[in-house]
Structure formats: structure tokens, C-alpha cells
């Protein structure tokens, strides 16, 4: 090891704070606040998600669901509070955030596929540029993932040639190709025509069955009831109510939850 490594970095080597702890919960959020200027969006969120859990998040528009999800992989930097991913304090300046992010797959409402790349390239590029996999290996993984979401025949297509449902499944395959330990979904079916929602939910259901840790912001109460292990109701930047999805949906305790569910169910 060369001598001119800064002391900070050397410490990090001795106490590798960015090695995931297999016993720690995948996601642990404590006292999380987030403000955009004057706007106080998250007002103290505490949330621990254990391995294999499927946590569904519901709540009215503007309640901070997306902001919470985006704070988990630090697309939004917390104003206050801590985010721990597999025991790693991700806000620590020593932590390689890019490396942590490879273990957190994220799926967006608007798919966000790379429009200038083929489907295959969409799924291989991060493997090659981030995980340094060879292009042969990356392609092999990509084909397996595309097979898994039922799109092996679309390898050479460009995103614009696919339906919304197909694009979203490619986005899921792209996230899975990094072998993440957990997946975040932000309203993955909200931009889809109703008849395309099912195919995406089907893929997510399979993932949950295989034991993937998932955090899903959704309006699909059926999915939450059937697949979710926990349901969280958010309002005004706070978690108002949380519990078994069937119970919360059938018998909401908080008046705000009752009001919200009476509108959407």
C-alpha cells in the first residue's frame, strides 16, 4: 500500500465502513427530515425494513412518498437524520455512494430507459461501466434478466418501439442486472394504460416470491393487499399508520387513512 493515502482513507481501510453487514436490515431510516427551501416535505421518518419484506407505501399526492424513496438511495440528500443501507451509514463522506447504489435497484414511474441505446445495451451498460463485467458476461446476465421479464425477443429494439409495460419490464431487468439486494419502486404502473398494468405487477409479484426486499410506492391496493408484507400510509411528510396490509386496508385506524382510503377504494 502506498504511503501517500490520506489518513482518512487509511482509517476507512482499517474500519471498512462501507462493507455491507449481512445481519443488518437492508434499509434503516431514522429521524429523516427533508426540506426543499422553505418546503418541509419529510417531517421525521423512522422506518426499518427487514430482508425479504415487501413494504408498500400509499398516501395522497405531495405527501412525500417519492421523496422518502429517493432519500433511501440518496437521490435526495437528507436535511436531517440518517439512512443506513445494510448497516452502512451512507451519508458518511468515506462511503462510496456509487457502490452502495449498485445494491439498490430503482424503478421509476416514467421508466427512464436510455432512449439512445438498444434494450440490450440499456441492460448491459451499467454492468460494464460500474461492475466492470466483460461485455460477454454482461450480455449473458442481460439476456437472463430479459428472459425473466419475458422480453428476450426485444433485445435489439429501441425503447421507443416498446409499449409502456414492456419499457417498464426492461427497466426492471436493467435494475436486476446489477444483482441488487433490494428494489425501490416509485409508482411503477401509474404511467401505464390499464391493460398493461398486469404484466408489470406480475413481474414484481415473482420478485417478491423469490424473496427480494422491496419498497413500493403504489396506488395498486390489490397488489399491496396480496403481495405486501407491510403497508405504510403517509400524509404530510409523516408515517401516519403502518401495519399488515389486509388489516390497514380493511380496518384503518387513523382518520386520515380512513379518509384517503374512502377516496381511492
Partner 1 sequence: MALSDIRPTVRRRISRGTSYGVTIVVLALIVAYGSRNWELLSRQFFNGEVFAEVLPNIWVPILNTLLYTVASFVVGTALAIVLALIKTSKGPTRWFAVVFIEVFRGLPAMWTIFAFAYMLSTAFQFRWPGGAIWGGVLALVFVTGAYSAEIVRAGIEAVPKGQREAARSLGMSQLTTTFHVILPQAVRIVIPPLTNEFVMLLKDTALLFIAGATISQRELTTFGRDGLTTYANATPMIVSGLVYLVITVPLTYLVGLLEKKMAVKK
Ligand X SMILES: Nc1ncnc2c1ncn2[C@@H]1O[C@H](COP(=O)(O)OP(=O)(O)OP(=O)(O)O)[C@@H](O)[C@H]1O
**Interaction of residue 215 with partner 1, rule CB under 8 A:** no
Cell numbers that stand for 66 in this block: 417519492
Contact map string, positions 148 to 187, toward partner 1, x by CB under 8 A:
-----------------------x--xx--x---------
Q: Which is nearer to ligand X, 149 or 237 (CB)?
A: 237
How far apart are the C-alpha atoms of 135 and 129, rounded to whole Å? 10
Please report, for residues 32, 46, 60, 252, the alpha-carbon distance to residue 240 in angstroms, rounded to integers and kept in the order given.
15, 11, 12, 11
- Member of 18, 28, 67, 169 binding ligand X (CB under 6 A): 67
Residue linked to cell 431487468 = 173
- Member of 5, 75, 250, 259 binding partner 1 (CB under 8 A): 75
Total H helices, total E strands in the chain: 10, 10
Q: Which is nearer to ligand X, 14 or 39 (CB)?
A: 39
- Member of 30, 110, 161, 163 binding partner 1 (CB under 8 A): 110
Residue linked to cell 435526495 = 76
Q: Which is nearer to ligand X, 59 or 105 (CB)?
A: 59
For residue 18, which of 92, 81, 80, 78 has the smallest C-alpha distance?
92
Compute the least distance from the CB of residue 245 to ligand X, in Å. 18
Residue linked to cell 445495451 = 121
Number of C-alpha atoms within 13 angstroms, CB side, residue 179? 7
How far apart are the C-alpha atoms of 109 and 75, rounded to whole Å? 15
- Member of 32, 41, 184, 208 binding ligand X (CB under 6 A): 41
Question: Segment contacting partner 1 (CB under 8 A): 28-36, 123-131, 144-152, 211-219?
Answer: 123-131
**Interaction of residue 113 with partner 1, rule CB under 8 A:** yes
As a whole number of Å, the end-to-end CA separation of the chain is 61
**Interaction of residue 116 with partner 1, rule CB under 8 A:** yes
Crossing angle of helices 194-209 and 164-176, in 10° steps, is: 20
List interacting residues with partner 1 (CB under 8 A).
Answer: 70, 73, 75, 98-99, 101-102, 104-106, 108, 110, 112-116, 125-126, 129-131, 171, 174-175, 178
Using CB under 6 A as the criterion, which residues of the chain lie in contact with ligand X when the complex forms? 36, 39, 41, 59, 61-67
Amino acid at each position: 500500500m502506498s504511503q501517500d493515502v490520506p489518513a482518512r482513507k487509511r482509517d476507512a481501510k482499517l474500519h471498512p465502513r462501507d462493507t455491507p453487514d449481512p445481519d443488518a436490515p437492508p434499509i434503516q431510516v431514522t429521524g429523516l427530515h427533508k426540506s426543499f427551501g422553505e418546503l418541509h416535505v419529510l417531517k421525521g421518518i423512522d422506518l426499518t425494513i427487514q430482508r425479504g419484506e415487501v413494504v408498500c407505501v400509499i398516501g395522497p399526492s405531495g405527501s412525500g412518498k417519492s421523496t422518502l424513496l429517493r432519500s433511501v438511495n440518496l437521490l435526495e440528500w437528507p436535511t436531517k437524520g440518517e439512512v443506513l443501507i445494510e448497516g452502512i451509514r451512507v451519508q458518511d463522506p468515506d462511503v462510496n455512494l456509487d457502490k452502495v447504489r449498485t445494491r439498490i435497484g430503482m424503478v421509476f414511474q416514467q421508466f427512464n430507459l436510455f432512449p439512445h441505446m438498444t434494450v440490450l445495451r440499456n441492460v448491459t451498460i451499467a454492468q460494464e461501466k460500474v461492475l466492470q463485467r466483460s461485455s460477454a458476461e454482461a450480455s449473458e446476465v442481460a439476456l437472463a434478466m430479459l428472459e425473466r421479464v419475458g422480453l428476450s425477443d426485444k433485445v435489439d429494439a429501441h425503447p421507443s418501439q416498446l409499449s409502456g409495460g414492456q419499457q417498464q419490464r426492461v427497466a426492471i431487468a436493467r435494475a436486476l442486472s446489477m444483482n441488487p439486494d433490494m428494489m425501490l419502486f416509485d409508482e411503477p404502473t401509474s404511467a401505464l394504460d390499464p391493460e398493461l398494468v398486469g404484466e408489470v405487477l406480475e413481474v414484481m409479484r415473482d420478485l417478491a416470491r423469490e424473496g427480494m426486499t422491496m419498497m413500493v410506492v403504489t396506488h395498486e391496493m390489490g397488489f399491496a393487499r396480496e403481495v405486501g408484507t407491510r403497508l405504510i400510509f403517509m400524509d404530510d411528510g409523516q408515517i401516519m399508520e403502518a401495519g399488515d396490509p389486509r388489516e390497514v386496508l380493511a380496518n384503518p385506524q387513523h382518520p386520515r387513512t380512513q379518509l384517503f382510503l374512502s377516496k381511492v377504494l
